[in-house]
Amino acid sequence: MQLPNGYRAVLGDKLERYCLNYEHQKGKHKALLFEKRFGITIANKEILEQALLEAASEGEAELYKIDQYGTHYDLAFSLYTDVGESLLLSCWIIKITEDSPRLTNTYPID
């Protein structure tokens, strides 16, 4: 299944605040993985942003769960850069009061 309204996906500040942030207690480990595997840091985050938005609008998503906050989806896709390649998992939620998917997490899975 495609991510519902994936073409309207919202990344918010999840990459800067968490996934690519070396100062975040939990996110710093993901930041290290993104830099080592792909050469992606906050300075060139556009590479990851573009890949996430493309995957959200074109990729195959799986329903993960439905809870009091909304409907959660997982979407795996391959990312290739000059530094390396890997499969990524991106996690999304469509909140009960919204209709656009929001990024909740992303990280390499292989």
Exposed, middle or buried, 55 (CB in 10 Å: 0-12/13-18/19+)? buried
Total of domains in the chain: 1
Distance from C-alpha of 22 to C-alpha of 49, rounded to nearest angstrom: 18
Is residue 39 domain-resident?
yes
Is residue 63 domain-resident?
yes
Confidence of residue 110 (pLDDT cuts 50, 70, 90): confident
Say which residue the tokens 């050469």 belong to: 39
Q: C-alpha angle 69/74/75, rounded to 5°?
A: 140
Model pLDDT, residue 27: 84
- Please name every residue paired with 102 in a beta bridge, in sequence order, or none if there are none: 10, 93
Is residue 38 domain-resident?
yes
Digit-coded pLDDT (tens) for 83-108: 999 999 999 999 999 999 999 999 99
Longest Cα separation, the chain: 41
Digit-coded pLDDT (tens) for 11-50: 999 999 999 999 999 889 999 999 999 999 999 999 999 9
Structural domain for 63, as ranges: 6-108
Is residue 1 domain-resident?
no
